[in-house]
Structure 1
Amino acid sequence: MNLIEVRNLHFSYQNDHDVLKGIDLTFDHRSTAIIGQNGAGKTTFVKLLKGLLKPVTGDILVNGINTKETSVAKLAAQIGLVFQNPGDQIFKSKVYDEIIVGPRNIGMPADEAENMTKRALEAVGLGSKINHNPYDLSFAERKLVSIASILAMDPRIVILDEPTIAQDDPGKQLIKDLIKKLESEGKLVISILHDMDFVSETFTRTIVFQHGRVMIDDDTKSVFSQTDVLREAYLEPPHITQLGNRLGYSETYLTAEQFVNDLLMEKKLKSNIN
């Protein structure tokens, strides 16, 4: 089942310059990373998905709802967007109030709103900071508050703009586990990222944008195996993929664990032969 359908999408901020040019895409529940150089049109694209911008030409259907024919408020229960900068999203003076405002705004019953707020805070590891002022928290924690504010509304679709910015390794692992959990629940997570290592370890599908067009759209392993095409888009494969390539392996490695397991297997086979 397609949660989002994008048909012949064109968009421009100025009449003489298209930012997005004839994009046709469908999204099911597979977690999807959108990568590409700055200016490729990624952020504009997700703002269109959320309904913050409207197509100049073409249509976007979110759970069957045409974004041209509805408001951002009405789409809020269907699709949530976490901005790159939490300062663009946070406006309350207490973490709890920041999280619960979304569920209340979409008409969630009081008991359910409270329960979803607590669950969202626990999911991002901030259950103990429910009464803190968000601006007394670190940037990384404020990012997690922004993520929780979307999760609390329980949308079928979650969009994350650069979720790993300022996160340490435990923070990245928390977000990775969260994305995988949402995907296992049949929800769609779309994320804009420049962290190729995180992309390779986390996302099922990867889309490469370049100059307002879709350059590659495939499973993540297939995308990172196309080194020449990635070079054209001024992108580099993940570090572990590059290491495997330099050592002459034909396999496209996405995680260090896969790489090490193959090395150990290779060593064991050689030992048995000898």
Structure 2
Amino acid sequence: MAITFTNVSFAYPSGWRAVDDVSFTVRPGERLAIVGQNGAGKTTTVKLMNGLLKPTSGTVTVDGVTTAERTTASIAATVGYVFQNPDDQIFASTVRDELEYMPRYRKWDDAKRDERVARAARLGGIERYFDSNPNDLPLVIRKFVAIAAVLVGECKYIVLDEPTAGLDRPGQRRLVGLIDQLESEGVSVVTITHDMRFVAQTFTRVIAMANRHIIADGDCASLFASDELLRQASIRRPELAQLVRDLGLSDRAYRLDEIAALIPDNR
């Protein structure tokens, strides 16, 4: 059970090749961040995961079935996709209607619908907004409405496109807590993001892309320790990781607990 890319390339009708010979696997219950410069191929890669795009060559399989053999709608039941801009996703006139759309489309019984909607709203912290028009809500809340609408389903994989964009600190903490909960339930979370602090705090595996290729696939410490990989991917270390490096304490520490352990106790 996994999402597997095998020698995947994708070219748009214009002839622009956005992804070139990419291979990797997203395992069950995994947290994976995909990072890199604009135009590296990140967004195309994640859209290939749920069939929004189909490979020009190579194969993408979701739990053993190639996306070429399935409709985007059928894949979406397994791989949920949350767009960066919630306004590209939300369409209903109330939050309740937005969350209930998918269960009604799939003709779930009332008990299952109500249970899944309540769970998603609780995870997103949006219960109080059920009767509100999403267009009247702040961006932070709309982002969680969009996430909750995907969580209503029974997806095994969730893709988050730039999820911290526009979030305040409380919203970021809520997002991390939500990802913690999904991991505990065995749901894989994949994100594309430019927020390296979010990556450092939240993700255990990172893929770096540059010029349509994967240039690194491993843990955060290995990526943040390499000046050359950071240069190729056009990304920067999180501020604390850079500070620790500049002080000569470590070139691999990037999480708060790791950094705290490096500071001598002079009491």
Deviations 1:124-147 (A, max 9, x none): 111111110000101111111000
Does the CA contact (< 8 Å) of 2:249 and 2:262 recur in 1? no
Aligned equivalents of 1:253, 1:239: Cα separation in 2: 11
Query: TM-score, normalising length from structure 2?
Result: 0.95
Q: Could you list the runs of 5+ residues in structure 1 that have no partner in the other structure?
A: none
Does the CA contact (< 8 Å) of 1:227 and 1:237 recur in 2? no
Deviations 1:16-45 (A, max 9, x none): 431110001111021000101111111111
Mean Cα deviation higher: 3-12 or 221-230? 221-230
Aligned equivalents of 2:120, 2:220: Cα separation in 1: 28
Aligned equivalents of 2:52, 2:46: Cα separation in 1: 9
1:241 aligns with 241
Does the CA contact (< 8 Å) of 2:163 and 2:193 recur in 1? yes
Query: TM-score, normalising length from structure 1?
Result: 0.93
1:12 aligns with 11
Which amino acid is the alignment partner of residue 193 of structure 2?
L
Does the CA contact (< 8 Å) of 2:134 and 2:142 recur in 1? yes
Which amino acid is the alignment partner of residue 4 of structure 2?
E
**Counterpart of 2:146 in 1: which secondary structure?**
helix
Which amino acid is the alignment partner of residue 236 of structure 2?
E
**Counterpart of 2:17 in 1: which secondary structure?**
coil
Does the CA contact (< 8 Å) of 2:50 and 2:81 recur in 1? yes
Does the CA contact (< 8 Å) of 1:161 and 1:193 recur in 2? yes
Q: Does 2:251 match 1:232?
A: no
**Counterpart of 1:32 in 2: which secondary structure?**
strand
Aligned equivalents of 2:122, 2:38: Cα separation in 1: 33
2:159 aligns with 159
Mean Cα deviation higher: 238-247 or 6-15? 6-15
Deviation of 1:107 (Å):
4.1
Q: Does 2:120 match 1:120?
A: yes
Deviation of 1:15 (Å):
6.0
Aligned equivalents of 1:257, 1:105: Cα separation in 2: 45
Deviation of 1:251 (Å):
4.6
Deviation of 1:233 (Å):
1.7
Aligned equivalents of 2:108, 2:37: Cα separation in 1: 39
Does the CA contact (< 8 Å) of 1:23 and 1:213 recur in 2? yes
2:150 aligns with 150
Aligned equivalents of 1:8, 1:15: Cα separation in 2: 21
**Counterpart of 1:183 in 2: which secondary structure?**
helix
**Counterpart of 2:265 in 1: which secondary structure?**
helix
Does the CA contact (< 8 Å) of 2:35 and 2:233 recur in 1? no
Aligned equivalents of 1:110, 1:76: Cα separation in 2: 21
Aligned equivalents of 1:107, 1:247: Cα separation in 2: 59
Does the CA contact (< 8 Å) of 2:50 and 2:79 recur in 1? yes
Aligned equivalents of 1:23, 1:196: Cα separation in 2: 22
Which amino acid is the alignment partner of residue 19 of structure 2?
L
Deviations 1:50-87 (A, max 9, x none): 10111100111111121101101111221100001111
Does the CA contact (< 8 Å) of 1:77 and 1:106 recur in 2? no
Deviation of 1:88 (Å):
0.8
Does the CA contact (< 8 Å) of 2:47 and 2:53 recur in 1? yes
**Counterpart of 1:58 in 2: which secondary structure?**
strand
1:44-123 residue pairs with structure 2 within 5 A?
44-123=44-123
Give % identity.
38
Aligned equivalents of 2:76, 2:44: Cα separation in 1: 18
Which amino acid is the alignment partner of residue 92 of structure 1?
A
Aligned equivalents of 1:34, 1:107: Cα separation in 2: 35
Does the CA contact (< 8 Å) of 1:140 and 1:165 recur in 2? no
Does the CA contact (< 8 Å) of 1:76 and 1:106 recur in 2? no
**Counterpart of 2:140 in 1: which secondary structure?**
helix
**Counterpart of 1:267 in 2: which secondary structure?**
coil
1:185-196 residue pairs with structure 2 within 5 A?
185-196=185-196
